[in-house]
Amino acid sequence: MTSTDRTHDPDAETWVDSARAHREFPIQNLPLGVFSVAGEEPRIGCAIGDEIVDLRSLALDGRLPPDVAPLLSAVELNSLFGAPAAQRRALRHALFDLLSNPERQMEVQMHLHSAARCQMHVPARVGDFTDFFAGIHHATNGGRLVNPNSPLPANYKFLPIAYHSRSSSIRVSGQPVRRPCGQRKPPDFTTPVFGPSQRLDYELELGVWIAGENELGSAVSVDDAFGRVAGFCLVNDWSARDLQAWEFQPLGPFLSKSFHTTISPWVVTAEAMIPFLMPHNARTVDDPELLPYLVTTTGGSGDALSIQLEVFLTTAQMRKQGRPPHRLSAGRASDMYWTVAQMIAHHTVNGCNLVPADLLGSGTISSAQPGGAGCLLEISQNGKQPLELPSGESRFYLEDSDEIRLKATASAEGFRSIGFGDCVAIVASGGSA
């Protein structure tokens, strides 16, 4: 599916009052997730305004397509992500019809829950988590701190760099992150020391949920790759920069990344994102020619995403003073050097089999404009330039009780904007040891 349909109509409205002017979850969005109400087990739901539609009970009531209904009895989205794309589209269309037709209100109303009274969960059982390095401005800014004359790795513009990260420590938005302990070697020390990280950082990333499975040994072409996307979320891939600086040679990050990754709870489906695909313009005429497997048959290198990304910080003192969150940065997903399709094509070109609910992280997304840095490593120049806050505080890196909130809005002319929901976590007091 690469064309819009009636579910993207910007004039479409819903009988759900809270969704009519909702900035994130209007009827054009219909993201999927897993929620629970007090005393009950998790179940699959759909966000609409400030409400959640219980899809399991709606299916049991016979209101959803019969071939989709069995997939909604699970407590996670893996089976739905493994189903043919046509079934996911049928679910979206059925929900759109139920929620847009006032005559269907009585049969659906009993399946709505107030989101404020529900607990969200990780939406799927993540098999593998691969973290890419697709943000060229982040790669350049970070590289300059080490090698000002040649900040990018030699292979950066030839292939999407990535590493295999840890899925067991992925947590849903709202759960606190504990400051990790490990080895670090301060510049004036001859041997490393052990203790809590002193340079805890956030990373603004886009997450990609995988649909379907390619057979082991069978690659996914760049033209077919977007068809392997179930949906998107926000990712905060927390980083302990001091642990990372000591451990990353020669095999890359390990303990500095594996301690916690925060994701937003709602999956903004690939179908909902169709209006927000745009030409990919991150490459220039001076860049090297790509190998054929990374280039679409229609020319160019695939589609970018029209998503505005933001990061907000709130300190304990700011909360005490009643101050609003301070925006640290604003950037664009379209600034990624590599597209989602290219990342999937490269991931599978060696025959690697991606399976339903694998999660891909984009890597930190920064923009070239002022105020577009996607992490504190860039903002503080690795602890050399303090970030001044409205409360009179300053930061080089995160302190205990600091809260980081990521937000994203997809927008395009002629379409209703949709949001991703919050991706938020607070740094718990004290280290992990």
List the CATH number of the domain containing 351: 3.90.850.10
Query: For residues 229 and 218, what is the distance between their CA atoms, to the nearest angstrom?
Result: 17
| pLDDT-wise least confident of 151-165, 227-241, 295-309, 405-419 | 295-309
Catalytic residues: 138
Are residues 93 and 189 located together in one domain of the fold? no
Task: For residues 85-93, give the mean pLDDT.
Answer: 97
User: With contact defined as beta carbons under 8 Å apart, do 233 and 423 qualify?
Assistant: yes
Are residues 147 and 116 located together in one domain of the fold? no
Of 91, 121, 151, the last residue of a domain is: 121
In a domain, 115, yes or no: yes
**Given this model, what pLDDT does residue 431 score?**
58
pLDDT tens digits along 29-77: 999 999 999 989 999 999 999 999 999 999 999 999 999 999 999 999 9
**Given this model, what pLDDT does residue 48 score?**
98
Total domains present in the chain? 2
pLDDT tens digits along 376-388: 999 999 999 999 9
User: With contact defined as beta carbons under 8 Å apart, do 222 and 302 qualify?
Assistant: yes
Are residues 147 and 97 located together in one domain of the fold? no
Are residues 269 and 172 located together in one domain of the fold? yes
Task: For residues 7-12, give the mean pLDDT.
Answer: 98
Of 105, 121, 137, the last residue of a domain is: 121
**Mean pLDDT in the chain?**
95
Q: Is 205 annotated as a binding residue?
A: yes
> For strand 359-361 and strand 129-132, is the pairing parallel, antiparallel, or unpaired?
parallel
Of 60, 92, 121, the last residue of a domain is: 121
Are residues 201 and 63 located together in one domain of the fold? no
Are residues 44 and 185 located together in one domain of the fold? no
Q: Which amino acid makes up residue 217?
A: G
SS3 for 211?
coil
Residues 6+ apart with CB under 8 A from 143: 150, 151, 152, 153
**Given this model, what pLDDT does residue 299 score?**
58
**Given this model, what pLDDT does residue 21 score?**
93
CA 311 to chain centre: 13
Are residues 293 and 249 located together in one domain of the fold? yes
Are residues 225 and 253 located together in one domain of the fold? yes
In a domain, 346, yes or no: yes
Placement of tokens 């829950």 in the chain: 113
User: With contact defined as beta carbons under 8 Å apart, do 404 and 311 qualify?
Assistant: yes
Are residues 116 and 156 located together in one domain of the fold? no
Q: How far is CA 323 from CA 329, 379, 405, in A?
A: 18, 21, 15
Query: For residues 274 and 418, what is the distance between their CA atoms, to the nearest angstrom?
Result: 12
User: With contact defined as beta carbons under 8 Å apart, do 342 and 221 qualify?
Assistant: no
DSSP sequence for 10-49: TT---S-GGGTT-SS--TTT--EEEEEETTS--EEEEEET
**Given this model, what pLDDT does residue 417 score?**
98
In a domain, 415, yes or no: yes
Kind and range of the H or E element at 345? helix 340-348
List the CATH number of the domain containing 85: 2.30.30.230
Does 245 have pLDDT greater than 90? yes
Residues 6+ apart with CB under 8 A from 361: 129, 130, 131, 132, 165, 205, 206, 207, 208, 235, 237, 261
In a domain, 1, yes or no: no
Does 209 have pLDDT greater than 80? yes
Placement of tokens 């049928």 in the chain: 90
% of residues, the chain, pLDDT over 90:
93
Cα end-to-end distance, the chain, whole Å: 49
**Given this model, what pLDDT does residue 433 score?**
46
Strand order in the sheet with 118-121: 112-114, 51-54, 43-48, 32-37, 118-121
Among the listed residues 274, 230, 275, 238, the one whose alpha carbon sits nearest the alpha carbon of residue 257: 238
pLDDT tens digits along 404-430: 999 999 999 999 999 999 999 999 976
Are residues 169 and 58 located together in one domain of the fold? no
Q: Is 364 annotated as a binding residue?
A: yes
Q: Is 244 annotated as a binding residue?
A: yes
Query: For residues 116 and 106, what is the distance between their CA atoms, to the nearest angstrom?
Result: 22
**β-bridge mates for residue 308, sequence order:** 332, 409
pLDDT tens digits along 347-402: 999 999 999 999 999 999 999 988 999 999 999 999 999 999 999 999 999 999 99
Q: Is 133 annotated as a binding residue?
A: yes
% of residues, the chain, pLDDT over 70:
98
**Burial class (CB within 10 angstroms; exposed 0-12, middle 13-18, buried 19+) of 284:** exposed
CA 112 to chain centre: 26
Q: Is 4 annotated as a binding residue?
A: no
pLDDT tens digits along 153-163: 999 999 999 99
In a domain, 418, yes or no: yes
User: With contact defined as beta carbons under 8 Å apart, do 65 and 302 qualify?
Assistant: no
**Given this model, what pLDDT does residue 429 score?**
75
Are residues 98 and 161 located together in one domain of the fold? no
In a domain, 377, yes or no: yes
Query: For residues 363 and 205, what is the distance between their CA atoms, to the nearest angstrom?
Result: 5
Are residues 61 and 158 located together in one domain of the fold? no
**Given this model, what pLDDT does residue 300 score?**
54
**Given this model, what pLDDT does residue 53 score?**
98
**Given this model, what pLDDT does residue 260 score?**
98
Q: Is 203 annotated as a binding residue?
A: yes
Domain extent at residue 36:
6-121
Task: For residues 113-125, give the mean pLDDT.
Answer: 98
Does 20 have pLDDT greater than 70? yes
In a domain, 96, yes or no: yes
In a domain, 198, yes or no: yes
Q: Is 407 annotated as a binding residue?
A: no
**β-bridge mates for residue 331, sequence order:** 309
Among the listed residues 113, 125, 100, the one whose alpha carbon sits nearest the alpha carbon of residue 45: 113
**Given this model, what pLDDT does residue 146 score?**
87
Does 341 have pLDDT greater than 90? yes
